[in-house]
Structure 1
Amino acid sequence: MAIRKFRQRMKVITLVITIAFAVSSAALYVMNQMSYTTTKNYAFKINGNKVKLEDVMRSKSMLANNFRNEIDEDIIGVLALNQVVENELAQELADSLKIKISSKDINNEYQNIESNFKDKEQFKRMLTAQGYTKASLKKELEKSMRSIKAREVIGSQVTVTDEEIGKYYEENKFYLFQGLPLEDVKERVKQYLIQEKANDLYQQELEKLKDKMVLSDVNQEFDKYMEKVQVEKDGVEFTNVDYSKIYITFISNGLEKEAAKEETDKFIESQVKMVKAAEDNGIEIAKDLPVSLKVKEAYEKLYSKLESQVVVNDEELNKFFEANRMRYDIYPSADAYIAYVKLYPSDADKKIANEKAKEILKTVNKDNFASIAKEKSECPSAANGGELGWFTKEDMVAEFSDAAFKGKAGEIYPEVVDTVFGSHIIFVQEKNEDDKTVRASHILVKSNVSPETIAERVKLEEEQALKLSNGEIKFENLPKDRYVDSSLFTKITEQGYIPGIGYKEELAEEIYKAPLNKVVVKNIGKDIYIFQKIKEVQSKKMTLDEVKEQVTKDYKAQKTMEEIQNLLK
């Protein structure tokens, strides 16, 4: 529904904590989903340390909510339990690295979360719903920050050689770096390789701790979710955790349950074949790696070996070039800094919506509410006569909730209610005092941005454009509360496609018409943009000699992949 609260993403460095209004409290989830056969208030012990029952249930509840209950409970249970186990082991890793987080940093992160909510009372209600207290949330933040810091410490120990940088650059020279010289992108390549190595090393360290950990006193409700081998073939083992991670990837891509299971089985089969193919080609793979890293190493080493064996001759290369000529021709493109201006209704715009809603309020009653909502409401719920269904006070923005819960059941609230979405006329249909819920319908009149408001904002942006032209400020430093996507966008096509934004034909047309390096403010429809074109490329038909290096690389890549596919049959 249009007026339901947006889920706030916490802007904090945390691995675990995700706060979502629609997630039921851990306590309720436990009561609804589990039948207790023990009086223990913990799920299990890791190396003698108790893991709280609510930690597992909260993880399970959030995963179920994220996937809208589209995944079998056993898959959710396995992933949730593994998440909690890895979080606990991450703390052991942080302990071994002697990582500490200051109370000041923890408090700052806590305040960052709190600032995402309209007021402290709303934030407290959310904490209660999620089964947190102020102290326990701070503890969770500390654990997450320690995990992040552990990754950073491990990353700081990683080294990358010039040979590795050169190899990665050559493999990705044209696709990731647009053929730029190595000197121009060397630092980018280095940082990427360090990050990749750090992530792999972090996973290896967790895997070592997993192999050594002692799980004890496991609540029987969770025993079936413990990690164990689910598939073993040709010496390659996939645990139920490995299986579940692959499975949810297919679910995330829109497959139904049965189709996802079929694809998971096929994917695991191909991964086993990849490892076997590497071993059959004399490639040694570390035995103590997690299976995902084992497959990755098998693929990379096998690819490298097979690519080195590809023989290239001029005749075959020319055939390949002619068959793929369009891939190498240069097409028109432009690079430009773009800032999309956030527009908000002015007080005058809000007043117009309010007055319109007041006029509608004079005409509605219980009998005609649904028909008028269908005709005049600007909310998607209009199709259902404004019906919003049952909701709690926390489900809606404060102004709407206050009115709905204050209003009398079976009556239309006597005043127009203004929120960030516009002006509402509310019909309080039913109330359930036991559940503290309300069923209501509404008619929404949006506060639309008027042409006058747009014109005033254009004047302000022209002043900002002058500062950009003079170098007083840069696009990347424009304030985030006033602009969206204030960064450099490359390879904008004449057809209007802007990578990273999508198709914006009118904007692209204006960018192509603009002189190089001039900062332009443009009002397109109800949108305002500031942009600066810094580069424009003209079309050109390329010859084989001009792109021979890239063609050779592509030819070898195709032949290598064909050989790998043959090995995996």
Structure 2
Amino acid sequence: MKKLIIAGLGAAVLALSMPAAEVLATVNGHKITKADIQEVMNAMGARTTYDALPPEVKKKVLDQVIEQQLLQEKALKSGIEKDKEYKEALAKLKKKLALDVWMKKELDKIKVSDAEAKKAYEEHKSAFQRPESVHARHILVKTEKEAKDIIAILKKTPKSQLKAKFEELARTRSTGPSASRGGDLGTFGRKQMVKEFSDAAFALKAGEFTKKPVKTQFGYHVIYVEEKHPAQTVPFGEVKARIKQNLKMEKFKEKIQSIAKQLKAKAKIEYNQ
């Protein structure tokens, strides 16, 4: 049932919510839009958008869709709509489309209040814990001497200029991939870095740097911490929309299962096994 719901909703949303798109070609009076091409790409399992394709690939994809349109026209002109196999397939498609659209409408009927979301948040607060983290930069060098030389320079740098100086040294001296970003590693938790690095970084206060080289399997690091964030509960406002969506899907699943159970109880079902 869960897979059925997901598949049905996916098709319904795609069919009912496809935005208007620019016309890329006209074939015998039929307009082929960017949305048409994206729909074909999605059906083929593409993980990118038409806009993201290189120009030469865009042309090939468009030509394929044009060919498909011409073949569809030929098929219709052949009188295929009178064929028994075609009629049976169309009947199945209509049933599936009816289910997709009906499920979409049933989902739209379900409402979740802020109060319900708040209640769920309070009852599952432990699930919204944000672990402590730091925003740090580092300079990675091959030898301990190089690291000590950099630390000596930083010790002589006025505090007001420390961050800028650290970024400059990272760009010119660091061998790590973050050198071009001034050594910026972004924000991370304790377990996201090797132990030696994490222990040193989390021991610092915001605006401080390591006074001794930090040795890891990668070499010697000098670390600078920009910000520290203590462990905290994510505010309700940040997760309210996600909670409401989850509650809506839970209500929807229960509703569909209940309707299916009622229909099954009333239906005449004969098993052949």
Relative to the length of structure 1, the TM-score reads: 0.21
Larger RCO (CA within 8 A; separation ≥ 6): 2
Relative to the length of structure 2, the TM-score reads: 0.39
Q: Kindly indicate which of the two structures has a greater share of residues assigned to helix.
A: 2
